[in-house]
Amino acid sequence: MLIKNLEKLRKRTLRKRIYEEVVRLILAGELPSGGWVDEKRVIDKLRVSRTPFREAIGILAKGGLVEIKPYRGFYVRSFSRSETADLYELFKRLECFAVELSVPQMSDHDIGQFENILSEAVVALQRADLKTYAVRDREFYENIADQSGNSALIEALARVALQIQLCGTMASVGPEFAERAAHGCDDIIQAFKARDTPRAAFLVRGRISHTQEAILASFPDEAASR
């Protein structure tokens, strides 16, 4: 029984490692959005066998990151402008719920950590370091979710956040975006410090909407292209 349980754990651990590696390849652009996944190449790169790789692909498909097309193989999912807009709307609702759960139980230390994360994000944005800004931005939202203590909510947000990362990135932003983001960060921290949950949720929603607008602006107008 012990050996059998250890074998199950080994397989689960391997499947998780493959899943995490494929996600990393997708987010790094090595497996581009909408592109075909060369199964043999990825298997060789990760030095794993076909069975656990396909098990990991199945998990990725359930998470909305990969499409399995019969007789054609696996494809990294791509999102249209309207699908991206829908994802952001869902993300806003879920993240605001996380804010409602997390703000009342935030300690001063917790708020200090959020303040540091947002400060680093603003500094990165001001020097046009969009990669670092994106990392700190994700960290901010992930920490709010973790602070909520709701495991179902944390899982749902993680899934939506991964899908959003496939939707596109801000190729460039103007000084107006940076100025508005900086001002919004200060307001959010003040709302956290005051334990003003409704205002904090409102401001976080506005922050996400601001990013949403920048992302959607990079898409072609679907109505015009019909």
Phi, psi of 36 (to 5 degrees): -75, 140
CA–CA dist 39, 17 (Å, integer): 16
pLDDT of residue 3: 46
Closest CA to 118 of 170, 167, 161, 182: 182
- Ranges of the chain with pLDDT below 50: 2-7, 9, 224-226
CB count, 10 Å around CB of 181?
Answer: 21
Closest to 205 in 3D by CA, of 80, 125, 112, 88: 88
What does the block give as tokens for 171? 């190729």
Q: How far apart are the first and last CA of the chain?
A: 61
Say what the pLDDT of residue 107 is. Answer: 96
Q: Do 99 and 199 contact (CB within 8 A), yes or no?
A: no
Please give the pLDDT value at position 99.
Answer: 98
* DSSP annotation string for 149-217: --HHHHHHHHHHHHHHHHH---S---HHHHHHHHHHHHHHHHHHHTT-HHHHHHHHHHHHHHHHHHHHT
Is the pTM higher than 0.75?
yes
pLDDT of residue 9: 45
Q: What pLDDT shows up at residue 170?
A: 59
